[in-house]
Chain A
């Protein structure tokens, strides 16, 4: 049963990576920039939810909604102030600005909320139980894991529907293909990019709540390591591709847990990255990425 247990831990960790990676991928797809501040938006979301539930004793669902609202606004503000003026600048300049924003959020969080760790409350108890048992107690899966996986699937389906069927979603895809042509077709490129940031940041808030529900310590640097891992996951699956982010996130989580379980806990990070390198050598655009042929 231990293999199944590990697999479930891996899927649970992977689902969180996947939700974060979705945010990376969407922003990358449209703005062609690596938003390194994404991990820190996750942290902000988690803090908002924590304070809403812990200090103001609001019901968890209100806390989550507040976190989503605050992060969405934060995402739009960051985009307007820090990234929009650089729309025509080289992508590396935007990357450095994103790093600046990341430093800013971390340090602001430390000043606002101090660096002493907060323990995130456990939301997902049903019938007084934190977990459900299968096979006569041999396998127990926590509600947090189940909800994380379900949320991840819902988000992924919703995004696929949104980008595929709705008008705004189609505008988004058009912008990511060719901004100039999209503008000629009457699409408001600026508004579309803002909307992408809003969605990405809203997802970050959900990811933050789920991350801290599963691993409940919350400090100002909570988001940075999962952020880097999720970025890796997004590239793993093929950056810019929504199903790719899901697949990349899940695989990364599973590989991380399996490497720890069956190879070495000390080298698990090295193994995760080694697998990534091998995959990229075989599929240079990630698992589900599109290989764009260079024009001569």
Chain B
């Protein structure tokens, strides 16, 4: 009986999560077609989708797998650069924009997954803060590499060079990635609908994974690695599955992000962006997918909503962040909420 009830709760939670996302999409889409949204909000729709996917995917590493990652923006970067490169290559071959975007996102996901796998081999041998610092290091290395990478396209195919522009493109060739200049003149083909589809795919992957054999194994590793190992769970394999999935989703969102702007540079995907996404995850609750979704959306909108504060905008943002963390985690406040709950349940019974 208990088991059935528990499953029911999980399913209910999943249904609520999907419903919230779908409803939000429908409302925003209706408002948008009715021209009732300000340009500000309209302009933020795609980045909100991107950050939601980033937060949910990082939650897989931090919340479900229980390993702190400080380099998540690195995977976003890999996805962004590879995705845009693929989109540029296919510019003439694939005429349909949504299809090109989809291919680019898949390519971004694949490359980020490869990067995630390569990084995962050394990283997942470590634990705790040492793992965190190594992910930070990889994030910085990825940034450094993209800052020095030149990729050009001409009739002979792709040309790569590192450190300086030695791509020697033939006549009519085009430099896609220009080192510190990043990529300019990107076709802005990202749409809110594409972002919504990516969120739904992400939710399906993450929620199903959490409720599958794999997810249970991953959570068992988080709760007690030695116990998990002793009952025959292959720790490295399951850690790797979670880590690579998380990287792939971040890569797809990176491609979506890049194609929402006409220009991107490697510096965007630095330590601060990784931290920003981590803030979403922690604020939304570790392992709480719906929480990540809401926190990512709220905290992306917040700095824009605070524009009325002028010079004090970012200061206010910092104070709000500290206060929210104190309010949700302080034992005093929690005790207060608990008391309220007791009162409520007391009344009900």
In whole Å, how far is B57's beta carbon from the nearest beta carbon of chain A? 17
Chain A's closest residue to B272 (CB) is A224
Residues of B within 8 A of A103 (CB): 314, 317-318, 321
* B-facing residues in A58-94 (Cβ within 8 Å): 82, 85-90, 92-93
Interface residues of B toward A: which range?
35 or more
B18 within 8 Å of A by Cβ?
Answer: no
Residues of A within 8 A of B315 (CB): 104, 107-108, 111
Stretch from A133-141, A165-173, A267-275 forming part of the interface with B: A267-275
- Which listed residue (A88, A95, A281) contacts B331, Cβ 8 A? A88
B279 within 8 Å of A by Cβ?
Answer: yes
Assuming the contacts A108-B315, A281-B125, asked whether A86 and B325 have C-beta atoms less than 8 A apart, the reply is yes
A1 within 8 Å of B by Cβ?
Answer: no
Assuming the contacts A103-B314, A232-B133, A296-B226, asked whether A277 and B122 have C-beta atoms less than 8 A apart, the reply is yes
* Interface 1/0 per residue, A89-129 and B, CB below 8 Å: 11011011101110110011001000000000000000000
B312 within 8 Å of A by Cβ?
Answer: yes
Question: Are A276 and B133 closer than 8 Å at their CB atoms?
Answer: yes
- Which listed residue (A87, A88, A100, A270) contacts B325, Cβ 8 A? A100
Q: Is the interface of B mostly helix, strand, loop or mixed?
A: helix
Residues of A within 8 A of B147 (CB): 266
In whole Å, how far is B144's beta carbon from the nearest beta carbon of chain A? 4
B103 within 8 Å of A by Cβ?
Answer: no
Question: Are B129 and A95 closer than 8 Å at their CB atoms?
Answer: no
Question: Are B133 and A280 closer than 8 Å at their CB atoms?
Answer: yes
Q: Report Cα–Cα, A231/B132, bound state, in Å.
A: 11
In whole Å, how far is A238's beta carbon from the nearest beta carbon of chain B? 9
Q: Report Cα–Cα, A34/B130, bound state, in Å.
A: 12
A interface with B by C-beta (< 8 Å): 28, 34, 82, 85-90, 92-93, 95-97, 99-101, 103-104, 107-108, 111, 228, 231-232, 235, 239, 264, 266-267, 269-270, 273-274, 276-277, 280-281, 284-286, 294, 296
The 9 closest A-B pairs by CB, nearest first: A273-B137, A103-B318, A270-B144, A104-B318, A89-B329, A100-B321, A100-B322, A85-B330, A107-B315
